[in-house]
Amino acid sequence: MKLNVGIDLGSTTTKALILGEDGDVLGRGITNSRSNYKVACDVALCEAMINVRFALLSAALECAGAATTWNQMDRLELAFRREQYLAQLAMLAEVLRSFITRRDADGVARVVDEILSRMERDADAMFQPGAKRKSDFFRDLAGSIYLRLAEELARSEGVPFDRLVGLFDKAILDVENRPADAENFGLHVGAALVALPEVPPALRGAVAEAAAVPLEVTCSVGTGYGRATLPFPKDQIRSEILCHGLGAHAMFPATRTVLDIGGQDTKAIQVDERGIVTSFQMNDRCAAGCGRYLGYIADEMNMSLQELGPMACQSSRPVRINSTCTVFAGAELRERLSLGEKREDILAGLHRAIILRAMSLLARSGGVSSEFTFTGGVARNPAAVRALQSLVGENYGDVKMNISPDSIYTGALGAALFARREGLRGPAAEPALEERKTA
């Protein structure tokens, strides 16, 4: 099977999206961005390839007319993710133990072993149907559990907590920067089938069929905040503006205005009926008004990034925020808390301040017309969405606003569409393409 790939290397996350031969989206993958950009791309692409295998599995079951329930498919994928987690945990255990030295206090090795043993035992509960996880990224998931257990055991065993934390911080960098291997699908899915009770023969046969399909990437295109560092040739790089415009148009063909709020920058884009960019505006190099700013606020309030939006939505009286500068945000935040302001009201005010900066970009790019599409990681934040809907309504009236559950992949989708165009153009058209570039 021939595939076209789009990679969006953002400042916070790296996304991969795969299109099939007919242009349908077959797979998506996401991971933390990191210092080793090639590994980040490999991990995101590996996850997208696994996604493709599960899409092929569903298609094989449908063609066979098998009466496999969604519950069975859901349990299989959860069991697969458990096997992935355990494989990464085994890698983390190996690296952690290699960093323990003779100079470490007595008991450090024993406590690390106990932490790892508990983490392995807890894996079953994390990957049960209905189980809630704060993150699906191994670093975040393993880190939160490791630190909680380290704090508990350091106190009871008399072992330095700082040393336990230092070992993890050092080891996780090594684990994260090991290349991913999409070919492990067969290994992990096989172990998942063994772990599941009463696997229908049709499901077992479909798994074997999906695992056996050869996957060939014919063309890849990269984009994103870190696109200049992508391990791609220059002719396989496209700007974020073009990719978000084309991706938003593909998701919602009537889109004429696109707002993308990512980890490091904000983009207001105007597109025509073909998804071609006609004008745009971007924020300056300051991270205020972006996902990084929200991350900073989350750290100041000792909360996860995913908790900010839901808490802000509980506000009944948003506080007016004077500055969205990350340099002064912490000071103003602490001052507001000392004055007795509620956390949810402060957060609601912060979200509104961020969206007001985005509204300024929208106005300078040409305003909001026809259908309006909100993309990027911040589009997953309910408080940001609510503030944007309110301000767009106040300034532009009744405008249809589109938000896809897959909005974070919009840039990667645009890149994959450019890759497909290059693939369809074929080798015979390359001279003409080069002539146009030269011209």
Beta strands 255-261 and 371-375: pairing type? parallel
Over the stretch 181-202, which tens digit does the pLDDT of each residue have?
766 788 888 888 888 877 778 8
Domains of the chain (ranges; CATH) run 1-66+211-252+406-439 (3.30.420.40), 79-176 (no CATH), 253-403 (3.30.420.40)
Residue reference for tokens 């090991």? 178
Beta strands 371-375 and 401-402: pairing type? parallel
* Burial class of residue 179 (count of CB atoms within 10 Å of its CB; 0-12, 13-18, 19+): exposed
Of residues 335 and 46, more confidence is placed in 46
Over the stretch 102-119, which tens digit does the pLDDT of each residue have?
888 778 999 999 999 999
> How many Cβ atoms are within 10 Å of 347's Cβ, its own excluded?
29
What mean pLDDT comes out for the span 120-147?
A: 85
Q: Is the pLDDT of residue 24 over 60?
A: yes
Confidence class for position 66, pLDDT limits 50, 70, 90: low
Q: What's the whole-number average pLDDT of the chain?
A: 84
Cα 234 to Cα 236: distance, rounded to the nearest angstrom = 5
Helix and strand totals (H; E) in the chain:
15, 9
Over the stretch 329-382, which tens digit does the pLDDT of each residue have?
666 677 777 777 888 888 888 888 888 888 988 999 999 977 899 998 888 889
> What pLDDT is stored for residue 429 in this prediction?
37
Cα 265 to Cα 89: distance, rounded to the nearest angstrom = 34
Of residues 121 and 199, more confidence is placed in 121
> What pLDDT is stored for residue 284 in this prediction?
61
Of residues 193 and 68, more confidence is placed in 193
Q: Is 223 helix (H, G, I), strand (E, B) or coil?
A: strand
Name the strand (E) or helix (H) holding 119: helix 108-126
